Chain A
Amino acid sequence: MPSSTSLQARSVSKAFTTGKLRSAVLQDLSLDVGAGELTLISGPSGCGKSTLLSILSGLQRPDQGDVNALGQDLGELNTRELERFRLHHTGFVFQGFNLFPALNALEQVALPLSYLGLTDAEARRRAANSLEEVGLGPRMGLRPSELSGGEKQRVAIARALAKEPELLFADEPTSALDAANGQIVIDILHRIARTHGTTVLCVTHDPRLVGHADRVLTMEDGRILSDHRPAIAAGPSGDDIKETSA
């Protein structure tokens, strides 16, 4: 199904210099990512997929090339404008959850919302809704120390989701989780893409996730090797696929 392009990279290159050694991480890479679908970038460690993610999301600037997100050329924005862009249009999920130990789930999700200019009541309402959507409604009063790994990642997703971003970036979201929890998380990300029309870009080296994405790009040595759409046999939950391949 054709989807409109919300994220675009044109001839992006990035190299890192450690001491005297300059190693090219991304080489003249071009890419279009569509809205309303879950795009997976997979590849071995060190292939540059995380760097690509940070450049596409505006966390880093490329050495060469342009990135266009939602029609905005990210290269034209200064640091503060990039922060504002991220605040209003992007969400992030990281491998390490990165939740504040002192806040309960509701507070974790409401925290970034207060910087959007929402009232406290509105922020809490939206936070509660997000947590319900990821299935943590009954556990929103708990702190990270009382939650399992899978639940913590779901709180992180709710935190990214509550801002209602057009772009959602996930870096190795399931690598710290067991198979069951990993499946729950990737299904949530997939559902978000479809029901909210969000552009979800997920970077992973976990091969189990390939079957759950709408589009899979494989990378190696800073270049995209292949770009295909796996045959979608999955229903609303991933259980169908599991049973078929078992």
Chain B
Amino acid sequence: MVALARKTLVYEWRRFLPAIVAVCFAGLLQLLQAALVLGIFGSASVYITGSSADLWAGYPGTQSVNLGRSIDNDVEMRMLMDPAISRVEPFHWVDADWRGPSDNGGVSVFVSGIDPRPDGLMFSLALSPELRQRLNEPNAVVVDRADLSSLGVNVGDSAIINGRRVQVVGVGSGLRALGGVNVVASLATARDLDTDSTNAGRMTYFVAKLHNPADARTVAKRLRGAASFGPYDVWTARNFARRSKMYWMLDTGAGAAVLFLAGIVFLVGAAITSQTLVAAVVGSVREYATLNALGVGVGALRKVVLEQAFWVGALGLLGSLGLGGVLFLLARSYNVPVAFSPVVIVACVVLILGLAVVSGLAAMRSLRRADPATLLR
């Protein structure tokens, strides 16, 4: 079989170049959109994904990590009693106001009070043991490198949180939050900064590590429902992270706007790609009509067109992935919140290839103009 589709693509590459470029940019848009969505909304659950806890205990119905109310301290006991649990740690959440050395307007910060021991669960993936050690100093705080400018400080400077003086002893990365600036402190420091009297003697969350992480769902179920400890609920880390992300994506205006934009971007990419591909295919209408006159069926012609559409899609995607990788690294270096996941990349690739193939099918409809009778005009 003469490889008509491939040979035409190679020899007449100039005719197909606009379509390949269109697919490349449509794919690039999709990949970067996805990376941004994952990055931005991923930071909603940075407290969970940056830590190594398997279970989280918090106030029932908490929609997102930053919206927790305090629970009874004895919940820690309840958790420690369960044989499947190897360790429990408190996590103290404080909504606070930050005043930096320069006199500008207030900055809303989220103070995360954590156990600074070197093998602590909270932020184990985001803070080095050395930074954790420094948190033991009184009134010490750690912030994300990228937030230094919005907080108006450098390492070593002091500032005021909720009226108390604190000192920035170090910076980490992977601490950026959604909706405010994250400040990490020890439990002792956080307790001093918490000006809400209803939180006295209570804790926002208890996080736990299991001997066998695979048991998370069973253990969570088992730990629920002990009414004598006051209102509390237990979730697996994965579940709570997803819930927090979904809350930001679907229940806030920001999320709806980003998702809407992602949808529009896809439609625009789809429209441009399909039009350019149709234009490239239509250039061969007379030759296809001749083949049809010679008795080659429309089904066989369709296969040629679909093969071309597939190759155009594949070549364009190669460009998308290459350019996407470069731009991803560039964004990272500028602290733009981007993240990727292999599943999402595969989904984008499949989506764009599907788009190319569907465009090929649309081009087939124009092949109805390949009615051989029109050749005789």
Binding site for B on A (CB under 8 A): 50-51, 53-54, 57, 59-60, 80, 83-88, 90-92, 94, 96, 98-103, 107, 110-112, 114-115, 120, 143, 159-160, 163, 171
Contact = CB atoms under 8 A, between A and B. Distances in A.
B291 interface: yes
A179 B294 CA distance: 27
Contacts of A50: 376-377
A143 B284 CA distance: 16
A83 B8 CA distance: 24
Contacts of B12: 101-102
Nearest to B296: A115
A112 B4 CA distance: 11
A80 B8 CA distance: 26
B297 interface: yes
Contacts of A57: 293
Nearest to A52: B376
B373 A60 contact: yes
Closest CB pairs A-B (n = 4): A87-B295, A102-B11, A86-B295, A98-B290
B343 interface: no
Given A107-B7, A163-B294, 9 more contacts: A59-B293, A87-B297, A98-B287, A102-B12, A111-B4, A112-B294, A115-B297, A159-B294, A171-B376
A90 B292 CA distance: 11
Interface string B278-295: 000000101101111111
Given A83-B292, A87-B296, A163-B294, A54 B373 contact: yes
Nearest to A88: B295
Contact of B295 (A51, A53, A112, A171): A112
A192 B4 CA distance: 28
Given A98-B375, A100-B284, A91 B294 contact: yes
Contact of A103 (B1, B7, B295, B371): B7
| Residue picked from A54, A90, A99, most chain B C-beta under 10 Å | A54
A110 B2 CA distance: 7
A237 to B, nearest CB: 28
Contacts of A60: 373
A73 to B, nearest CB: 18
Contacts of B371: 59
B294 A100 contact: no
B287 A99 contact: yes
A87 B294 contact: yes
Contacts of B11: 101-102, 143
A115 B295 contact: yes
A88 B294 CA distance: 9
Contacts of B373: 54, 59-60
Given A88-B295, A112-B294, A159-B294, A102 B377 contact: no
Given A100-B4, A100-B284, A112 B291 contact: yes
A54 B293 CA distance: 10
| Residue picked from B8, B11, B294, B372, most chain A C-beta under 10 Å | B294
B300 interface: yes
Given A94-B290, A98-B290, A120-B1, A85 B8 contact: no
A135 to B, nearest CB: 21
B256 interface: no
Contact of B372 (A59, A120, A160): A59
A110 B294 CA distance: 12
B351 interface: no
Contact of B10 (A59, A86, A102, A120): A102
